[in-house]
Every structure is written in C-alpha cells, then in structure tokens.
Amino acid sequence: MANPKPPSRPNSETVYDQRTQMVRDQMAKESAAQDAKTVRLKALRLEKEAAEAAAAPPPAPKPARKTRAKKKI
C-alpha cells in the first residue's frame, strides 16, 4: 500500500502575496467610497451655498472713505 501524498501546505510567500493583495483591494474600495462621499457632500454644500446666496439680499455698498488733506510743510 503506497502512502498518498499529503496535502501540500501553501507557500508562505504565496500566502503573503494573497493577503497583501486582499488588503490592497480593501483599501482601494474604502478609498473609492470615501471619494464618492466627498463628491456627494461637496455637491450638497455648493447647492446649499447657491441657495443661500440667491436668498440673501445683496450687501450694502460701503460708504466712501473720507480723505485727509495732506499737510504742507
């Protein structure tokens, strides 16, 4: 009776590479989600600012400054 070959254990480099790729994929997904959230919030902020600017009355013009006469020496 021949002994069957025991199941081979994964190479440590292969496991490392798989884990590294998994972490990079997860980081890319999180980064994409954060970017999408940032774009959405920026659009909402710009919309809100535009609505506030349209609703607010225009600012009153500043009064002209009085100028002083230069002293002659």
The full 3-state SS of the chain, as one line of letters, equals CCCCCCCCCCCHHHHHHHHHHHHHHHHHHHHHHHHHHHHHHHHHHHHHHHHHHHHCCCCCCCCCCCCCCCCCC
**Whole-prediction pTM:** 0.56
> Tell me, what's the pLDDT at 39?
98
Residue 2 scores a pLDDT above 70:
no
> Tell me, what's the pLDDT at 7?
67
Residue 64 scores a pLDDT above 80:
yes
